[in-house]
Amino acid sequence: MTSGLDNEIVPFVTSVNIATGFHSGDPNWMHKTVKLAENSNVSIGAHPSYPDLMGFGRRDMSFEDWEIVNLIKYQVGALLQFTRDKKIQHVKPHGALYNKASRDEKEARAVVQAIKEIDSEIIHVVLSGSIWEEVAKESGVRIAREAFADRAITSDGKLVSRNVKGSVITQEEEIVKRVIKLAKTGTMDSIDGDSVKISAETLCLHGDNKSSVGLASVIRKELERSGIQLSPMNTFVK
């Protein structure tokens, strides 16, 4: 099983999230993608999820705290074995696990605990402005707050559900405009047209559709044209 347009998109990004088998990916694909990132000097992150291959990790599931910890350790541990120095830059949960950690303190604490126990130096990628961000800060771990290039937000900064029309932004011009505005002003427009303050160190662009490669290229070009330097999280996250 493969995920996304890896060979094509890697030249335009500074970091990648690699699926760890529970929503997408398999051992051979993980090996191939890790080597691609390492050979391209692109920083590696693990992308663990709920065990949901049929639903691509986007269906909500309920687990005990200790089960969440074990799910994450299992998946991140698998990815680490494919890396050159048995190290990764960050962990970013996928799909429903990411969304639940963003709104549920109990889930957030389990996610933070799991990553911290694997390696206290790993960066936790969290949704900007979420309860998850607060929990991570309290735990004293390294964090990178995330915004999304191609996802709509509500007026309070939350991601609009994928079940809502307009939740996924597909127009290249609109996406680029949103990204440049975020980089220059620290704000993004909500789905209702409100200007929302967003503090973010990392920007997500989903790589599982055909327009992703072109978008990544254009976004990088426009950011650099605006004088904005792009670097892997590890170079500036304390």
Among residues 92, 125, 154, which one has the least CA distance to residue 237? 125
pTM (2 d.p.): 0.93
For 125, the domain range is 6-235
For residue range 220-235, list pLDDT tens digits in order.
999 999 999 999 999 9
Please report whether residue 179 resides in a domain: yes
Q: How many CB atoms lie within 10 A of CB 235?
A: 10
pLDDT digits (tens, 9 = 90+) for 30-50: 999 999 999 999 999 999 999
d(CA 50, CA 218): 32
Torsion sign across C-alpha atoms 167, 168, 170, 171: positive
156 assigned to some structural domain: yes
**CA pair distance 35, 145, nearest whole angstrom:** 26
Tally of domains within the chain: 1
3-state class (DSSP) for residue 59? coil
Note whether residue 1 is domain-resident. no
Q: Which helix (H) or strand (E) holds 75?
A: helix 65-80
| Amino acid identity at 169 | I
Q: Residue 176, SS3?
A: helix
**Beta-carbon neighbour count of residue 170 at 10 Å?**
11
User: Is residue 3 very low, low, confident or very high in pLDDT (cuts 50, 70, 90)?
Assistant: low
Report residue 146 as tokens.
Answer: 């995330």
Confirm whether 83 is domain-assigned.
yes
Q: Distance (Å, rounded) from C-alpha 111 to C-alpha 132?
A: 9
CA 212 – CA 84 distance, rounded (Å): 27
**In DSSP terms, which residues pair with 18 in a beta bridge?**
46
**Backbone φ and ψ of 80, nearest 5°:** -55, -35
Sign of CA dihedral 173, 178, 13, 98: negative
The arithmetic mean of pLDDT across residues 190-202, rounded, is: 95
Average pLDDT rounded to a whole number, residues 127-155: 96
Q: Is residue 35 part of a domain?
A: yes
Q: What is the CATH number of the domain that holds 41?
A: 3.20.20.370
The answer on pLDDT for 68 being more than 70 is: yes
Please, are residues 212 and 156 in contact by the beta-carbon 8 Å criterion?
Answer: no
pLDDT of residue 106 exceeding 80: yes
Q: Kindly indicate the confidence band of residue 212, based on its pLDDT and cuts at 50, 70 and 90.
A: confident
Residue 1 has pLDDT above 60, yes or no: no
Which tens digits make up the pLDDT trace of 138-150? Answer: 999 999 999 999 9
Query: What is the C-alpha to C-alpha distance for residues 61 and 217, in angstroms, rounded to an integer?
Result: 35
